[in-house]
Structure formats: C-alpha cells, structure tokens
Amino acid sequence: MANIDITQLETNEVVEDAGARSGADAELVAITSPKETQCNPECRNEIFVGQDTTFEVFIQNSGDQPITEMGYKAQVWIADGNGNPLMLAKDSSGADLEFDNPDVICDDASVCDDQSLAAGAVFKGGKTTLQYGGGDATWTPAAGIYVIQIETYSDQDVDPGNDVQQVYVEVVDYLDIEIDIEWDDENYASGIATGEGAKAFTVTVTLNGSSDFITHNLTMEIDVSGDVSSAQGQDIADLKTATLGALVHSVNVGTDQIVMVYQNESDPTDNITEIRTIMSDDVGNGVWTYTGSVVPNTGEPEAAYSVDVAIGGYSLYGQFESCIDTVVVNSTDEEGNDVTTEEIYANFCEESFTKDDITRNNADEITGTLSTFHDIRISMLTVNQGYNSDGTGIPTFTVGAGEPGDLSVGVSYIDASVEHRGSASTELYDWNVSFTITNADTGEVITVLENQCLQGVEPSYNYALLGNGPNAFDQGHACTMVEFDVGTYTIEAELIMGGKTTDQKPSNNVVSMEKVARNNLPVISSLDLVTQGDLYLGMENMLEFEVSVFDADDVTGEDLTYTWVGGAASTPLAGCGGVGGAARTCTTPVIQEFVTLFPVDVTVTDAHGGSVTETIEIEIWNDGVASDSTDSGITMDYSLTYFAKSPFSITVTDGDADDCASIELPDPNGGLGDLLSGKYTPIAVIEYAPETNYGATDVLAQSIDVTFDSALGATSLWYSTGDDSCGNPAVTQLISDDATNSADDSTKSVLSAVLSGGTLPAGQLMLIDAPLQAKDPPSASIAGFNAAAGTGGSIIVGWNLTGTPLAGDKVSVSITGEDGVSFDLDLDRLTTTYTYPGSSTNHGETYTVEVAVCNNDGLCSTPIGTGTVVADKEVTGATATDVTVTTDYANKKYTVNWKIDGDLTDVKHWMVCHDRNEFTAVEMPTGNNCVKTTDENALTADVAMPVDSNGNLLAGTYTKYFVVVPVDKVDNVLYAGWSADASYNQDTSVTVDNNNTDSDDTSSGELPGWTWGAIGGVVVVAFIAGAFILSRGGGDGEDKDWDY
C-alpha cells in the first residue's frame, strides 16, 4: 500500500451528509508488510515462493473514546490479473488462509496483552506484527497472484469504513545457485587452516530454486591468492599459475549434453542443438562438487593465503524477450491494395545471466596461515527504513546487500555487522567502518566513519575491540543515519583494521550494494466532511473537513504539507492548509462561489515532492429572499433555499378582484372535490410570476410572506395556478389562514406560509376577508339502533334519533348482501322503523344494515346505526312423528301426542292444527284452528271439543284431522299436511251443518231448535216493513201510482 500508484488514490466522492467520528474507532491506517507489488513494466516488491511472510500494520484509534476490546484478521485471497479477490487461498492442509485473532485488546490480562488503546493513539506505538496462535501470523506462499486483506473489528467501532485495507502481491518462483567452499579437515571448520602441508578443500554448487530449472554452461570461478607454493584442482594441475594476479580459473558446472539451443515457435522442426554443460536436479540431485588443494609457502613465516569461489555466469533456455522474432508480411487484400502486417513469434532460445535472484550466497572463501592469520570482515550490510523524520521510531523494512528490493525515501539507518575472522580469537583488533553513500543521479557523496550504533538499530552497540578478551567481543556493528531522496544510490561499507596489525584478507572488508530509492506516496485513508446537516449559503456554522493520511516514510506526518482548494478554479480555501498534523483539518466559511456541487481537493505532499490528491464533492444550497410589491402596496417576500447558482426573483402586480367575484373555494379540510359553504369574493388579487421555476428535488426549503394594510381585514390567502384560474376550485388551494401583525409596521398585517415541493408556478394570489365556512353534516344522528331477523326472511330495523332532523335531512338506509349488491332507500327524516321484505332475502345469508341521518349535500352525521343480520325464512332441524289423537268426551277434548325427529335448536314451540276436512301443507288451517305449546319440549296438546252455550257437547258425527308442526323464534312455521285423525260421534235431535268449520261443531243437515223461532220473527218484521212502504203516498189527498 505504501507504494500504491497515485492514480489509484485519486478518488472522487459525493458527500450529502457526514459527521465527525464520535466514539472509539479502530482504524487500520496502512499495511507495511508485505509491500504491494508494483509492475511498470518490471516488477518490484515481489515475494518469493516459500518465503515466510508476516503481516505488519499500523492501527490507530481515530475516535475520541478509548478502545477496550478489539480483534484483527488477515486473509489471503487468490486474485485475478486486475487485483480482484476471487476466493480465499488454502494452506497445505486445505484450510482457508485466514489468521483471525479476536483477543488483541480486552479487559482480561491473562488473555490479551493490551487492555486499552487511548483515543488518538497508535497501537504498540507504531508498526505492529499481527499475532496468531501465540506467535507471528506467518504465511508461506505458493506461486500466484494474491490480495492480502487485513481488517480490525470491535463492537465499539463507530466507523467500520476505515477498518479494512488490501495490498496486491505477486508470489513468483526464484532461481538460487548457492556456492560453498570448506577445508576437508574438520579441524578447520572455522574456515581457517593453519600449519604446514597440503590443505585439501571442496567446492559445492547447489541449485536451490523454488522449482526445477536447468542451467547451460554454469561456471564456477576459483581464485587462489596469498603465500602458497603450489595449488591444484581436479581439472588442473597448476591452479596457482592459472589464478595469478587478476586471473581466475573458470570451471563448467555439470555434465556435457546435447541440448536444444533454439526452436522456432511456429515450426518445431526449425531448431538448433549443441553441446552444453548442463546442471539440473537430474545431475547429482542438483549438487555438484569440485576438489582441490593448496600448499602454503613455508619460506614465509607469516605466510597467509585464501581460496575464493564465486558464480561466474550461466544461460537458461526458454521463451525470452530476446527470442522474439517479428516478421513483416506483405500481401494484397481483396480490392488489390498492398497490405503490410507483422507476425510475432515467441521463439525458444538461450538467455545469459550473471547473477541469480538471491546473490548473497553466490560467493564464498576459506583462508589459511602458517602461524597467525589476521582478518576481520563485514558479515552483513543492511539498510533499515520506516523511521520518523527525526530518526526516532522502529524500522518497518530492512534490505541487505545481495537481497532484492528497492529503498524508500526518507530517514534510514545503514548498518554494517563486523566479526573477528582471524585464526587466533585472542588477537584483539581495533576497527572502524567507513560508510560511503553516493547518489548516482546527482553525484553527491556522503562519507561517515563509525564504530558504534547507539540508536536506530537494535540492539544498540558501544564500541569494543573484536576478539575474545576483556572489553572485547567477536562481533559488533556500526551504523549511520542518512536520508535518501529519489534516485539511484551506491552504498558501500569498508572495514578498516586499526593499529599496526595488517589485515591479511582485505577483500572481505568491503561490501557494497546499489539500490533505487523510490518515494512512497502518502496514503489518504479517508476524507470526511465533519459539518453535520444541510449546507447552504449564509449558514451559521463553518464548513469543516478532515483528512486521515499515512506516509510510510513519515509515520508521524510532521513533514507532510496539506493544500486545500475548492471549485472548478481550484480556489484556495480560506484558513486552510499548512505543514504538520494541524493542517489535516480545514475550516472555512460558505461563500457564493461554493453554491451547488462543490468539489474540495486536498493535496498531501511529502518532504520529497511526492503528492496525492483526494476529492470530496459536497452539495451546497443557494439561499435568498425574492421581493416585489404591487402598485396598491401589497408586498410579497419569497424565501427560497434551492439548488442553483442564479439569483431567484419574482414579480407581483395588482389583479382585478371583480374577475374573481362570487367564486367557490375548496374545503382545505375536506376530501378531493369538497367545497366550502357559500361563495367568496376576494378583497385583493395579486398576479404572481417567478423568473424561474424549480422542481421539488431542487428545493430544500421555502416560505412566503404577503404583507398588506391591516385595514383590508384579510384573514386568508389563496393561490390559483395559471392565468385567470381563480374561479376553478380544482386548481385553487389555501396558502395561509393565520394573519399576524407585522413586526416592522403596526399598520400592516402578514399572511405567511411554509411551502413544500417545488416553487409556486405563476398564478393568482387572493386575499379573502370573509370567514371560511365548511359544509356540515346534519346535527341529528342515529341512536338505539337495532336490526333483527323477522318472519319469512324479513329484516326488521329500528332506531331512535338524537337531536332534531332539519328540513332537507333524511334517513338513509342501506342493506348489502353477501354478493355486494346494495339496496339503498331514503326515508322521511322522522321515520324510526323499516322492514326489509323477506322476498328480497335468501335464507341463511348475512346482510349488513346501515342507517344514517344525511343531507342533500351528501354529508351524513355520526354515529350511524350499523349491524349484521342473518335472514331466517324456514324452520330447520326437527319434525313431529308418531302423532296420536285420543278422544276424551268426558273432558270435552282431544289429546294429541307426538314424538320428535331431529334437532330442537331452531324450534321455539309446537303448533297443533285441526280441521274436519283432510288438508295438504298448502291447505293447512291456521288461526283459531291451531293450538300452541308452551315451548319446544312440550310433546302433548289438548284441543277443545265444540259445546253449546250451556257447555254441552254439540251433537254430530264426523272425523277431525290433525297435524303437529314446529315454529321457530321468528314465527316461521313448517307447514305440513294432516298426519292423524279422530272420530266425533254425539247423538242429538238437532241437525247440524257438517260443513261448519268453526270451533262450535254442529251435525251436517240439521238446525238447532232455537233457530226456527228466530226465522219466524224475521218473516213478521219483513211483512210489517212492506206494509209501511205500501202505505206511503196515500195521505194528504195525493193520488199515487204504484208499481207493486
């Protein structure tokens, strides 16, 4: 991440609402290891296959409260060529490559090393290595393309958006050719031979790459120097002569074979084979040895000598860039035009190399002496980086001589490790290291002489002699601080032996490396708008921004420069910018130039000229008041907060109030289409028009004030859309009905309103002085409502009236069946009952009944009467069976008995009906010819026999027919034909009419004795009446003519 390309950091973010981070915030500031792989076009910061890799990060509490619980997690994702994570990688056991440690910070010291991270503090004071399973979380990678994702997590975290970081890494195979030389005599395991006689040695060359590879003509160079009388190797008798002066003896490593040295990609038969010395895992399992010996010169008492070996060079066979063959092909297209194309062939060939991927083991040496061999050497030269700008802190990256990797700019410590290499450890040597740092681009040379390292590299070291003795150590190290700028540097350390003793092996006293120092750009992890709420011109608060930055070369950020600009013209923001941490925050006022979309750029520049820019785009609303007055002195002020740069203006003129006389107004509290009662005439009409209309999405807030002379007496303000539209209630709305006194002029009144949606389009504003009267429902209402099922399926509805219905009021009845069909009827306003006929109902169906007092405006009062009724048209469940009739002359009655078949749930009582004639269900007698039981459980009934006025049974002989039927609770009867009969037989001299169906039964064909006297009386009366009529007209001397 520290080396991420600047184009990847130039982001653009639109912020509508943001706020400062209040609370604990476990921010993952940066990942410092592994470094991100950068390819342009050659790649750097690659990881070698099998190279144990740890995860190093910077974690900071960016909130304002301490963190008391926190965990972190590292994941290794397999990625595509564009760096997009695809799936979690697996380890050798098939488990996900995930290192999850939930116990980083907690309140239990036995579980977590840390119990709290204070607000603003950096975890562990700087760089920290992720821990997992009691040690460093370590990944041993296989070849591939990966994304390393590391995240912090905490239940206290208020901003999870800054908890995750990713780095892209490439893991590549590597070539490593190791060369080693040692004396065959185990007594010389230290590498120093002593005494006279031949000293045999063995050189070993080992192929140590991450995968198998084959070298062509790999050479090993051997050099014998010093006081030797003779030297020989397994391939040469006089090795001494062959290595005199600057000469070295070169030996091919491996075995000679005929191999391919060229092959055409498109034609496998086009190839070249030659003899090459081949070294591979198939040759001695990748290990090759060479033997030789030297004989020290006994003529020199202080004879000293050495044998040095190193890798000379080698070739590899494959498809290299140097093998590419571009062929120009001339042809003619279909239209006869000359066409030139290029065909590229990636052929196979040999490519020469002088070093492998890991050079620190490409050379070795052994030494010898007749007596005492004096030697000190530099065992390691490293550059340590990642310190603060003042050199404090701990390193985050180290690279040694012979190791791959570039340097970063900034403060670094160059450290040289030195050691005693003489034959006698008791010989103590004084020493110094001369550091020379040369900038190849500028020619600048820095030379420093040091023999201690008091800070910067652990452990710190105070100067001591090299060797075993008082105040002496066999190893030590010296360091010096240097600040790298962008460029190519040669870094050399030369170990100088002090005193009178001469270093007999000066060749191992100088170590150098050439490195490219690159500037790690600052990384902007977040850019926030701290100011909360809507932003608008003229707002009370200032705009406040905050940027979070990490620079691997300046961890504290003290030397970072912040530049804040805004707008298309990149205008510097007032009060913002500078060097150091305070400049991370920008506080500036809102000005007209900022209105609408306003991009703010912050550019962070490090001490070496590297910079990165982040953009945040915010929305700032325009705010203003448009005012205008009519000739009559009515003023309209339109306050608008809107999303546009141009000013907002309106025009108002006096309209003609007569054009709007006697208009209807909509009821603001009613439904769509509801009108106020009566008609209204405005006392003033204002023709209004805005210069520009804005839609609802472009308006944040708006309000209007209409100021007028209080003498007008206006109490409400109305608005109609369009020209001459005041007479159309559909486009008219109430704006305000709350007139107040003007705070600026006591003779004025103001009608104000806060509006929503877009701005008011052009239209008419009307001032109304009359009270607004809504249409009211009737004052009378329904009370004591009841609806019940009646006989034959009828529905009987009854109600009372509360209040007095007025003329024009009515009682509205609505009855709705299950099919949704409604029967509606308006009754007289004083009616309190209604029966819905059974002919309109279906048995067993539920009907909803509503009764309300309504008026001709369609308004109904509340409460209304409402209920549901189930229509009942028939008796169900039970019938009478086994009906028997007993004749009881002594008690002058018939006794009828029966049994029940079925359920009595729907039966209220039984009815016994009788007649002298047989009858069907349709002919079944009713009324006086029926007797009712007391309830449904009575299974017997008495029917009286006919008697005369003296209580004596009437004479007669006939048959009486009976039926027993059930009756339900609404008096529905289950009609049926006769089911039992009984004979009646009483002797008498009186003849009776057998067809008499009255309850006073008489025998057929006979009259009672008393009737004959009555008949005679009627005849006498008729005779007298006739005589009277005939006698009229005979008096007073008048003659009459008679027709009878």
Contact of 130 with 137, CB cutoff 8 Å: yes
Cα–Cα distance, 533 to 539 (Å, whole number)? 11
What is the reported pLDDT for 334?
A: 87
Reply yes or no on whether the pLDDT at 3 is more than 50. Answer: no
Decide which of 652 and 42 is more confident: 652
Decide which of 213 and 6 is more confident: 213
What is the reported pLDDT for 988?
A: 60
Q: What average pLDDT does this structure show over 564-590?
A: 93
Contact of 664 with 682, CB cutoff 8 Å: no
What is the reported pLDDT for 21?
A: 60
Reply yes or no on whether the pLDDT at 1010 is more than 80. Answer: no
In this predicted model, what pLDDT tens digit does every residue of 201-213 receive, in sequence order?
999 999 998 989 9
Cα–Cα distance, 472 to 419 (Å, whole number)? 11
Reply yes or no on whether the pLDDT at 230 is more than 80. Answer: yes
In this predicted model, what pLDDT tens digit does every residue of 383-408 receive, in sequence order?
998 888 788 887 878 899 988 888 98
Tell me the pLDDT band of 1037, cut-offs 50, 70 and 90: very low
Cα–Cα distance, 216 to 273 (Å, whole number)? 12
Contact of 853 with 781, CB cutoff 8 Å: yes
In this predicted model, what pLDDT tens digit does every residue of 400-453 receive, in sequence order?
998 888 898 889 999 999 999 988 888 999 999 999 999 999 999 999 999 999
Cα–Cα distance, 991 to 1012 (Å, whole number)? 12
Tell me the pLDDT band of 925, cut-offs 50, 70 and 90: very high
Reply yes or no on whether the pLDDT at 690 is more than 70. Answer: yes
Q: What average pLDDT does this structure show over 310-339?
A: 91
Cα–Cα distance, 292 to 296 (Å, whole number)? 14
What is the reported pLDDT for 686?
A: 95
Reply yes or no on whether the pLDDT at 698 is more than 80. Answer: yes
Cα–Cα distance, 910 to 897 (Å, whole number)? 11
Q: What average pLDDT does this structure show over 252-260?
A: 96
299 phi-psi bin (left φ>0, alpha ψ -120 to 50, beta other): alpha
In this predicted model, what pLDDT tens digit does every residue of 727-751 receive, in sequence order?
788 889 999 999 999 999 999 999 9
What is the reported pLDDT for 881?
A: 95
Reply yes or no on whether the pLDDT at 471 is more than 50. Answer: yes
DSSP state of 668: T
34 phi-psi bin (left φ>0, alpha ψ -120 to 50, beta other): beta
What is the reported pLDDT for 212?
A: 92
Cα–Cα distance, 810 to 125 (Å, whole number)? 88
Cα 279 to chain centroid distance, Å, stands at 59
Domains parsed from the chain with CATH numbers: 6-172 (2.60.40.10), 177-353 (no CATH), 374-518 (2.60.40.10), 523-620 (2.60.40.1930), 623-768 (2.60.40), 781-870 (2.60.40.10)
Decide which of 392 and 705 is more confident: 705
Contact of 862 with 781, CB cutoff 8 Å: yes
In this predicted model, what pLDDT tens digit does every residue of 990-1001 receive, in sequence order?
333 434 444 444
Share of the chain above pLDDT 90, in %: 70
Q: What average pLDDT does this structure show over 261-268?
A: 92
Reply yes or no on whether the pLDDT at 254 is more than 60. Answer: yes
In this predicted model, what pLDDT tens digit does every residue of 274-305 receive, in sequence order?
999 999 999 999 999 999 999 999 888 888 99
Summary mean pLDDT of the chain: 88
Tokens of 378: 């530099």
What is the reported pLDDT for 252?
A: 97
Q: What average pLDDT does this structure show over 926-951?
A: 93
- Amino acid at position 846, single letter: T
pTM of the model: 0.55
